[in-house]
């Protein structure tokens, strides 16, 4: 019956009334507490809204804050073709900064994966990803995947939390060369610390061509 109410609700205009609790009691021949519990779940989901004394109504769809997206997902959203070229993929010893960000000890083994990423065939960014080797046994040996986030997901390590920092800068000579822009061109630097459960699964630094990339973020007060 949860599903019955859901089907009534899906496609209904926000604000339109849902069946009253007592009506569903009669229609399904169940107790009112049963109906309430079913509807409660839909209220928590944000599909229904109760107004005491008036009734239960289809809620205005919740706006959803930005999700954690991969480069491929992000470019797909922009209608662009994402391609990546691995510049470097090897085992390294964590330096102080990477160790701290990955919650490791300096010198611990990490995977360093550097890629030049294109959109519609034109350079878009250079990404340096650092991964905790302990969480990804055999990662380097098994051939690099197309999508890091898909690879993490298949191991149950899809990040559910990310701490990003973003600033503007000028690209250095190497960066500008790879990105195919004039030396000193403006770039957007994006650092990410991505967490799955309690584990830091990815630390990355990405440098975007400022002329090709604008970051979009949606923030909600509710969630």
Partner DNA sequence: TAGTGGTCTAGACCACTAT
Partner DNA sequence: TAGTGGTCTAGACCACTAG
Residue 49 near residue 59 (C-beta atoms within 8 A): yes
Residue 104 near residue 93 (C-beta atoms within 8 A): no
Spatial distance between the Cα atoms of 65 and 62, rounded to a whole number of angstroms: 9
Closest to 61 (Cα-Cα) out of 46, 40, 44, 42: 46
- The yes or no reply on residue 30 touching its own copies (CB under 8 A) is no
Piece of the chain touching its own copies by CB under 8 A; list 74-82, 137-145, 165-173, 174-182: 165-173
Q: In the range 35-94, which residues lie near its own copies by CB under 8 A?
A: 40, 44, 63-68
* Cβ 211 to its own copies shortest distance, Å: 9
Annotate each residue in 118-157 with x if it binds its own copies (CB under 8 A) or - if it does not, as one string: ----------------------------------------
Judged by CB under 8 A, the number of residues near its own copies is: 38
Copy the structure tokens of residue 74.
């992000």
154 is in the binding site of which of DNA, its own copies, none (Cβ under 5 to 8 A by kind)?
Answer: none
Copy the structure tokens of residue 197.
């459960």
Piece of the chain touching its own copies by CB under 8 A; list 83-91, 121-129, 140-148, 180-188: 180-188
Spatial distance between the Cα atoms of 193 and 112, rounded to a whole number of angstroms: 14
Residues whose CB falls within 8 Å of the CB of residue 27, separated by 6 or more in sequence, listed in order: 19
Q: Which one of 3, 10, 167, 182 is in contact with its own copies (CB under 8 A)?
A: 167
213 is in the binding site of which of its own copies, DNA, none (Cβ under 5 to 8 A by kind)?
Answer: its own copies
10 is in the binding site of which of its own copies, DNA, none (Cβ under 5 to 8 A by kind)?
Answer: none
Q: Tell me phi and psi for residue 26, to 5 degrees.
A: -70, -40
Copy the structure tokens of residue 59.
């809620």
- The yes or no reply on residue 217 touching its own copies (CB under 8 A) is yes
């Amino acid at each position: 019956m949860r599903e019955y109410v859901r089907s009534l609700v899906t496609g209904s205009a926000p604000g339109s009334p849902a069946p009253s609790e007592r009506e569903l009691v009669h229609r399904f021949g169940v107790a009112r507490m049963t109906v309430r519990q079913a509807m409660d779940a839909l209220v928590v989901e944000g599909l229904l809204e109760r107004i005491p004394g008036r009734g239960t109504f289809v809620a205005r769809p919740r706006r959803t804050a930005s999700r954690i997206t991969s480069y491929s997902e992000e470019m797909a959203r922009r209608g662009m073709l994402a391609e990546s070229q691995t510049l470097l993929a090897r085992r390294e010893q964590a330096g102080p900064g990477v160790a701290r960000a990955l919650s490791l000890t300096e010198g611990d083994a990490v995977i360093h994966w550097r890629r030049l990423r294109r959109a519609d065939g034109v350079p878009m960014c250079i990404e340096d990803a650092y991964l905790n080797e302990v969480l990804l046994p055999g990662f380097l040996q098994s051939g690099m995947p197309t999508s890091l986030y898909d690879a993490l997901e298949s191991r149950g390590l899809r990040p559910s939390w990310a701490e990003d920092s973003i600033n503007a800068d000028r690209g250095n000579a190497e960066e500008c060369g790879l990105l195919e822009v004039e030396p000193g061109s403006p770039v957007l630097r994006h650092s990410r610390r991505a967490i799955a459960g309690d584990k830091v699964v990815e630390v990355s630094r990405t440098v975007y061509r400022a002329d090709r990339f604008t970051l979009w973020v949606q923030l909600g007060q509710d969630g």
